[in-house]
Amino acid sequence: MAIIHLKPPQVRYRKQEEARPIGCRSAMADARILLVALVALFAFDRRLVHANFANDTVPSWGAQNVQISADGEGLTLTLNNQTGCRIDTVNRFMFGSIEMHIKLVAGNSAGTVTSYYMSSDGSAHDEIDFEFLGNSTGQPYIIHTNIYAQGMGNKEQQFYPWFDPTSSFHNYTIHWNPSEIVWFVDGTPIRVFRNYESFGIPYPSKQAMKAYSSIWNGEAWATEGGRVKIDWASAPFVAGYARLGLRACVWNDAQCVSTYPARTLTPDQRTQMANITGSYMIYDYCRDTSRFNGNMPPECSQPQD
């Protein structure tokens, strides 16, 4: 399905030292905010997971294109004209924070999709997505977010990054608890999806999920709705991953559900998110009335901050 952007692709990256929206704190301050927000959450969890790519993940396809550093702390995923690749966590998790530092494919990445997401199994699966849609040299990446609950998706929001995601590693965190899901970039929340199951709106609350990272050929839709294809002369396409954090409850019983308390964003975090959505959001399914013929998804009428 082609997605119509709310804004034309005229964004250019700021210099690295200016790469934060007006009104937001420095990267160090943002990290402190995220840490404070999560400390209370972690205090309830006695089963935090120390992550290492060598020990805690396995290649599930394209293993020849997966390279793990000798210390297990770094990873590269490569797409060539033969195959892409993917890694999966060994364990499944139920609530917590999953984070990854990613350095995206530089240069002409049109048609490529680099992803980092959580998912359960089956047709009625739950899924929480970060996908990074490549673009022609000089044009911005698109940060594509989506969520599936009981097999129901079509909840996309897209953003331009306010930094160059190919020049250095950036922290992308999925925070998932019984009350809400929050997508963070370098400690700044960019999106929230709240639990409105009491209103009959599906929410991922009953299925444990693994974390996945992959790079693959998405030229059918990824760049300008599929108009711009992969330039295989620019291959191989290599994405770097580091500092995997699995601060989550390893699933084996119902204890995970009772471990994590409900929480919401702080006022400062709401302000940060409003700055991001106001300046860098380019698509929001809740604004796309033509797509749904005016019959908007029910969560669109509920607060999401």
Catalytic residues, by residue number, are 127, 131
Quote the CA–CA distance of 258 and 184 in Å, as a whole number.
24
Decide: 243 and 99 in contact? Cβ < 8 Å: yes
Q: Is the peptide bond before 298 cis (omega within 30 degrees of 0)?
A: no
The token pair at 144 is: 């594509």
Decide: 280 and 183 in contact? Cβ < 8 Å: no
For residue 68, what is the enclosing H or E element? Answer: strand 66-68
**Number of Cα atoms under 13 Å in the Cβ half of residue 266:** 13
Quote the CA–CA distance of 189 and 272 in Å, as a whole number.
7
Q: Which long-range contacts (CB under 8 A, 24 or more apart) does 121-125 make?
A: 122/151, 123/151, 124/150, 124/151, 125/151, 125/207
Decide: 99 and 244 in contact? Cβ < 8 Å: yes
- What angle is formed at CA 257 by the lines to CA 34 and CA 94, rounded to 5 degrees? 65
- List strands edge to edge, sheet with 74-79: 66-68, 74-79, 237-250, 93-103, 170-176, 180-185, 188-194
Decide: 190 and 273 in contact? Cβ < 8 Å: yes
Quote the CA–CA distance of 180 and 149 in Å, as a whole number.
13
